[in-house]
Amino acid sequence: MSQISELKKLYSKGKARKLITLFSFFIALVVAAVASVSVGAGSPRLAEAIHVIMAKLFPFLNLAPASRLTQIIILDLRLPRVILAVIAGAALAASGTLMQAALRNPLVSPYILGVSSAAGFGAALFIVLGISTVMFFKSYFIVANAFIFSVVAMLIVYGIARIRGITAESIILAGVAVGYLFSALLSLIQFIAPASDAVRAVVFWLLGGLSTANWSNLTIILPMAFAAIALMMLYSWDLNVLSLGEEAATSLGVNPRSILIASIVLSAWATASIISFTGVIGFVDLISPHIARIVIGSDHRFQLPCSALIGALLLLCADTTARVLLAPAEIPVGIVTSLMGVPFFLYLLMSRRRQIWR
């Protein structure tokens, strides 16, 4: 009997430790966000930034209004960008976790579904040839194209997998094939593009970046990404069970096919809703799940939110560096993400001796 309570205590202790880890990452993210709002081209610093945000959030405090310029820089330029970095990082990382867990493969990311290549193709289709899939919302032509082609890529992958039988292998293989197809089409468009300006615009879009952040974009991105992450959380237990194989999952009452389908739909949706606005941002989705697994373990009830927080933190730090380092010029965020993320990941990889995956 004593041993039962002992083991129980051990379990609740482990759980508490994981919750504390999650909370620490959350605090770190808030601190990083505030710091990020206070740096960049233009003058406003920490105190002013906090002042402006407080005045906006709590109008009843009757704080003295800051200058018009300061308000614009903080509220309309830096804040949306910080929020976009956080939600983009979180959604991409969560999608990566979902894909890796559902396909039981540590090397996959939403990229494997061909989502990114398809989005790039959609964007290029409009930038170079002026072909749009929607007739209205003129300012969202590129975004709509990218999103729609991402969804098309996912549907093709799903269709192929359905014919072959929905298993991790068939989805990975179909995804790789569809990814190659769309990158070939993308190269073709770049090759036949007449104007070099258009080609440059495509390359710029493909590099990805958060400079498109503004409030009207965020009102579309935030609900889409949040809903996706929340739905992903609901599958935590199923993902845990699936990690021991499809047969084991079935014998525990989980239908692996429905989990696989839900996973590809949710991660393609989350990824597409981000990268259609930001362009292709890679790496965060692949690496954040691994970092989370190292610091918090594989139980997806904790690993998924942890991965999202780490992704948010990673992308926020990278984007802040990207816009501050050579201000007023900007380094493409993808370059900074890898340059910052890889050493951190390698450090964790080498400092922990436990096996992380097999």
Partner 1 sequence: MALKLQINKLSFVYGNFKALKDVLFEVDRCEFLGVVGPNGSGKSTLLKCIGRILKPEKNAVLIDDCDVTKINLKSLAKVMGYVPQRSESVFPFTVFDIVLMGRKPYIHWTVSDDDCRIAIEALKYLGLEDLATRHFNELSGGEQQKVIIARALAQQPRILLFDEPTTYLDIRHQLEILDLLKHLTTTKQCTVIVAMHDLNLASRYADRILMLKKGSIYALGPPETVLSEENIADVYGIKVHVTRTILGAMQIMPVEPVGTHYRRSEVPIKSPPKQLVGP
Among 217, 240, 273, 288, binds partner 1 (CB under 8 A): 240
CB of 4 to partner 1, least distance (A): 5
Q: Is 293 in the site for partner 1 (CB under 8 A)?
A: yes
CB of 260 to partner 1, least distance (A): 14
- CA–CA gap between residue 177 and residue 199 (Å, rounded): 25
Among 51, 56, 104, 162, binds partner 1 (CB under 8 A): 104
- CA–CA gap between residue 130 and residue 198 (Å, rounded): 10
Q: Would you say 56 or 104 has its CB closer to partner 1?
A: 104
- CA–CA gap between residue 294 and residue 43 (Å, rounded): 39
Joined tokens for residue 222: 């935030």
Q: Is 298 in the site for partner 1 (CB under 8 A)?
A: yes
Q: Is 247 in the site for partner 1 (CB under 8 A)?
A: yes
Among 27, 203, 327, 356, binds partner 1 (CB under 8 A): 356
CB of 246 to partner 1, least distance (A): 8
- CA–CA gap between residue 46 and residue 34 (Å, rounded): 8
The mark string for 251-270 relative to partner 1 (x by CB under 8 A, - otherwise) is xxxxx---------------
- CA–CA gap between residue 123 and residue 269 (Å, rounded): 17
CB of 11 to partner 1, least distance (A): 6
| Nearest in space to 189 (alpha carbons), one of 140, 152, 156, 149 | 149
Q: Would you say 259 or 272 has its CB closer to partner 1?
A: 259
Q: Is 354 in the site for partner 1 (CB under 8 A)?
A: yes
| Nearest in space to 259 (alpha carbons), one of 271, 249, 244 | 249
- The end-to-end CA distance of the chain, in Å, is 36
The CB density around residue 153, as the number of other CB atoms within 10 Å, is 27
CB of 274 to partner 1, least distance (A): 25
How many residues are given for the chain? Answer: 358
Q: Is 4 in the site for partner 1 (CB under 8 A)?
A: yes
| Nearest in space to 313 (alpha carbons), one of 61, 7, 14, 21 | 21
Q: Is 106 in the site for partner 1 (CB under 8 A)?
A: yes
Residue 267 in contact with residue 95, Cβ under 8 Å?
yes
Q: Is 101 in the site for partner 1 (CB under 8 A)?
A: yes
Q: Is 3 in the site for partner 1 (CB under 8 A)?
A: yes
CB of 20 to partner 1, least distance (A): 18
Site size with partner 1, rule: CB under 8 A: 35
- CA–CA gap between residue 113 and residue 88 (Å, rounded): 18
- CA–CA gap between residue 197 and residue 86 (Å, rounded): 31
In the 8-state DSSP scheme, what is residue 268? Answer: H
Selected range binding partner 1 among 85-93, 120-128, 139-147, 238-246, rule: CB under 8 A: 238-246
Q: Would you say 81 or 300 has its CB closer to partner 1?
A: 300
Q: Is 326 in the site for partner 1 (CB under 8 A)?
A: no
- CA–CA gap between residue 312 and residue 254 (Å, rounded): 31
CB of 57 to partner 1, least distance (A): 32
Joined tokens for residue 239: 């993902």
Residue 268 in contact with residue 113, Cβ under 8 Å?
yes
Q: Would you say 105 or 183 has its CB closer to partner 1?
A: 105
Q: Is the peptide bond before 328 cis (omega within 30 degrees of 0)?
A: yes
CB of 254 to partner 1, least distance (A): 7
Q: Contact residues for partner 1 (CB under 8 A)?
A: 3-4, 7-8, 10-11, 14, 101, 104-106, 237, 240-241, 243-245, 247-248, 250-255, 293, 297-299, 301, 354-358
